[in-house]
Amino acid sequence: MKDLYKQIILASASPRRKELMQKHGFNFTIEPSGAAEGDSPEDCVKTAIANAKLKALDISKKHPNSVVLGADTIVVLDGKLFGKPKDLRGAKEMLNALQGRTHSVFTAIAIVLKSENILEAAAAESRVSFKKMDLKGIENYLQKVNVLDKAGAYAAQEFGELIIEKIDGDFENVMGLPCDLLKNELDRIFGSFKIFLK
Of 39, 58, 72, 170, which residue is the catalytic one? Answer: 72
CA distance 79 to 29: 35
Task: Give the Cβ contact number of residue 183 at 10 Å.
Answer: 17
Residues 6+ apart with CB under 8 A from 40: 46, 47, 81
CA 132 vs CA 84, 98, 152, 157, 189: distances in Å:
21, 9, 16, 19, 43
CA 147 vs CA 93, 127, 140, 174: distances in Å:
12, 19, 12, 14
CA atoms within 13 A on the CB side of 147: 31
CA distance 36 to 55: 8
Q: Are the C-beta atoms of 109 and 185 separated by less than 8 Å?
A: yes
Q: Are the C-beta atoms of 101 and 76 separated by less than 8 Å?
A: no
CA distance 151 to 123: 16
Q: Indicate if 72 belongs to the active site.
A: yes
Catalytic residues: 72
